Structure 1
């Protein structure tokens, strides 16, 4: 059972009491963009928050960028290992077996 989440037009499985994979990816992506942009702004405008050092913002920014590259590389590697992946992504259908 899915329901539309307000004006965003996104579907949610909140009625079932759990989040599907797309919901988790969406939430992670939003959080990742927020952190990445925030640390980028802290590095760009050093006087914005003087209590946070540029070094810590650089560390978080670089660590997050490397994590994203690693996750993407792992997903591409797994996609190449499964011959049914590419047609499944193009068509949206895969066999049950």
Structure 2
């Protein structure tokens, strides 16, 4: 009996795992919602190149204007949960 990573579909057969392109869809949705301006030429015609850059907290973008790759810090505007109350005390 051979082992397969594919999951069974509705009729009991095995689905082809390579046909699942939810990762590609997620990548496109991420690049659509994040807008980055190129720090070299100022162009906003950029694309998400990689969700991870040289650090986990950075993403890589490609500029279609000057054809360079640059990094941007991932920040969604929300304050991260630190486990402390935000009353101004230490």
User: Per residue, is there more strand in 1 or in 2?
Assistant: 2
* Structure number with bigger Rg: 2
Does TM, scored on the shorter chain, surpass 0.5? no
TM-score normalised according to structure 1 size:
0.26
More helix by share: 1
